[in-house]
Amino acid sequence: MLTKEDNELLTRSNADTPLGQMFRRYWLPALLSEEIPEPDCPPVRVKIMGEDLVAFRDSHGRVGLIAELCAHRRASLFYGRNEQDGLRCVYHGWKYDVDGRVLETPAEPAGSTLKDKAHHPAYPCIEASGVVFTYMGPTEKQPVFPAYEWLTIQPANIGVTKFILESNYLQALEGDCDTSHTAFLHRGNNGEGIEQPTENAPTFEIERTWCGLRAAALRPVDDDTVNVRVSTFAMPFIGNVPVGTWVNGKLDGYLVVYQVPIDDYSTARYNFRFKRSEPLIDNDIIKADRAQVQPDYGLIANPHNGWLLDRNVQKTTNYTGVQGFATQDAFVTDSMGRISDRSQELLGVSDSYVVALRLTLLKAVKEFKKGIEPPGLVFDPLKNDYSAAACTAVTVPVGTAWRQVEQAVYA
């Protein structure tokens, strides 16, 4: 459990909070590239950590992410005209480029220098794997863009989906770092039936990395063998899960989940699924992800329609009666309330990874308040071992040093 004070520290991410200031030091998903699919297309609203922004793609395909309200009289730029390399406010015609420069103030007298005195809040953007990432921190502290495998793989080999959740980012992230819930919450999704799981509870081996955590869950398969599945956490809110198909005796990619705070009470979840061996054309799992969301990325099943819970399905087909992996995750984490009161929890051994996650975030934000750089930032692109964030899975004989087997298999 957490004290109420620490729970507040880890769940509040607006710009005036320590956590929010720390999170702004990383490159963060802002929106999917498909939301602004072509030059001069309509702008879209974006909200990250309580900041109201507008994203647009200019005539040359560059992406801008700027404050929503016009610097002139505070009209919303969401209603603006995206034209000729800039976004123009429809109220008085002020025009902004992707860097926030004021290009034109046509309602002002000829020769006016007013536009040269203004600069609109704007954040730099980089596109990778079908996602627009942004950096929202101080310019002089901007890190290089991280070269994680899921951000550098061939575009055809990765698919990304987005879901809007109605709860704080932390309880969603904790679900990604909870290796015990899958045998219950997601039971029956793959046709395995709904009988109470009989597997032995896992033991955990958890270690810190330069960018977060590696958590190995060890489960006996039989008297002679042990299954080892390694999940990872990368700062600031990336939970990586060792699921996917197998090729040549090892995982052929895995699931990467970013839980981006929209505000303190809602979250944008981004699922990155990739394969190393082949393109993900018409992938059934990605199709299943997309089938769970409405055009605005809100879940079709949600708290307002009772999650479309079917008690007959719960009795006969899957453990929850709710359909879809991401919807099932949202179903339970949203049920905790918009911000879970962790001071009231009763934790067990199965929560070891979640506890390690909380301690890692607490240490980072408390040290950040003292002026210490947070972990996982990249300033030298050749210095960091990005495999620290990779997920693996191996089955080894009892008593075998599993790390040596893992290193040999995933070399």
pLDDT at 1 over 90: no
Q: Which stretches of 209-248 are assigned E, i.e. beta strand?
A: 212-220, 225-234, 238-241, 246-247
Instruction: With H, G, I as helix, E, B as strand and everything else as coil, classify residue 333.
Output: helix
Query: How wide is the angle at C-alpha 209 spanned by C-alphas 208 and 214, nearest 5°?
Result: 65
What are φ and ψ of residue 194, in 5° steps? -120, 15
CATH entry 3.40.50.300 includes domain 27-141: no
* Rounded-to-integer distance, Cα 23 and Cα 19, Å: 6
Looking at the predicted structure, is the pLDDT value of residue 190 above 90? no
Summarised one tens digit per residue, pLDDT across range 307-330 is 999 999 999 988 899 999 999 999
Per-residue pLDDT at 199: 61
Instruction: Give 411's pLDDT tier (boundaries 50, 70, 90).
Output: confident
Q: What was the pLDDT predicted at 383?
A: 80
pLDDT band at 382 (very low <50, low <70, confident <90, very high): confident
Confidence band, pLDDT 50/70/90 cuts, at residue 210: very high
- pLDDT digit string (tens) for 332-372? 999 999 999 999 999 999 999 999 999 999 999 999 999 99
What residues contact residue 109 under an 8 Å CB cut-off, 6+ apart? none
pLDDT winner (highest mean) among 171-180, 216-225, 345-354, 361-370? 361-370
Question: pLDDT at residue 266 above 90?
Answer: yes
Domain assignments of the chain as residue spans, ordered by start? 27-141, 155-409
For the CA atoms of 348, 354, 355, 357, what is the dihedral angle to 10 degrees?
170
d(CA 241, CA 179): 9
pLDDT higher than threshold 80 for residue 148: yes
For the chain, count helices (H), then strands (E). Answer: 11, 21
Instruction: Compute the distance between CA of residue 366 and CA of residue 360 in angstroms, rounded to an integer.
Output: 10
At 197, the pLDDT band (50, 70, 90 cuts) reads low
Query: pLDDT band at residue 283, thresholds of 50, 70 and 90?
Result: confident
| Buried-state track 188-197, b at ≥16 Cβ within 10 A, e below 16 | bbeeeebeee
Mean pLDDT of 121-148: 97
For residue 76, list its beta bridge partners: 69
The lowest-confidence range among 23-32, 117-126, 196-205, 263-272 is 196-205
What's the pTM value of the predicted model, to 2 decimals?
0.95
Of 67, 71, 64, 72, the C-alpha closest to 48 is 67
Percent with pLDDT over 70 in the chain: 99
Residue 380 pLDDT: 87
Q: Across all residues in the chain, what is the average pLDDT?
A: 94
Is residue 192's pLDDT more than 80? Answer: no
Q: What does the block give as tokens for 29?
A: 């998903």
Q: Is the pLDDT of residue 180 over 90?
A: no
Res 169 pLDDT > 80: yes
Is the pLDDT at 194 greater than 80, yes or no? Answer: no
What are the C-alpha distances in Å from 269 to residues 6, 162, 290, 312? 23, 6, 13, 29
Instruction: Specify the pLDDT at position 327.
Output: 94
pLDDT-derived band at 114, boundaries 50, 70, 90: very high
Instruction: Give the HSE-up count for residue 267: Cα atoms under 13 Å, Cβ half-sphere.
Output: 29
Domain 155-409, CATH among 3.40.50.1980, 3.40.50.970, 3.30.390.10, 3.90.380.10 = 3.90.380.10
Residue 232 main-chain phi, psi, to 5 deg: -135, 155
Percent of the chain residues past pLDDT 90, beyond the cut = 86
pLDDT of residue 282: 74
- Considering only residues 317 and 234, tell me which one the structure prediction assigns the higher pLDDT: 234
